[in-house]
Structure 1
Amino acid sequence: MASTHRSPFERLRTQYNDVDLVCPSCGYDDEDGEWQAATAGRTVQYRHVCPSCGAIRRRTLSLDS
């Protein structure tokens, strides 16, 4: 159940954690992994590092108007 106290960015990170933890490089399913989020000005970057092969995936959102 979604909490009304979580930000849209936290809800998106949770969505990535729920559906996008299979590495496209090696196929490893990181069931216990999670995406990390960082902000810089008007950019939010989500990042996941595959514990099997080390591949780094990023999703970047720009908050430009």
Structure 2
Amino acid sequence: MAEIVNLRLARKAKARAKASQSARVNRAKHGRTKAERERAKAEAARAARELEGKHLSD
């Protein structure tokens, strides 16, 4: 026989797992120090300048 599943508990467990995943993403996105954010911003700016310098002019 199949195992009996309480749908309310299963739905709540699924919601908890989704919220946990969302929290993990937000921690990675917003949980950085000011120095880390500035370093990442400077690296992105450097990469953009480097890419722009490689464009061929008409």
TM-score, normalised relative to structure 2: 0.31
Larger radius of gyration: 2
Q: Name the structure where helix makes up a greater proportion of residues.
A: 2
TM score, norm. by length of structure 1: 0.28
Q: Between the two structures, name the one with larger relative contact order (CA 8 Å, sep ≥ 6).
A: 1
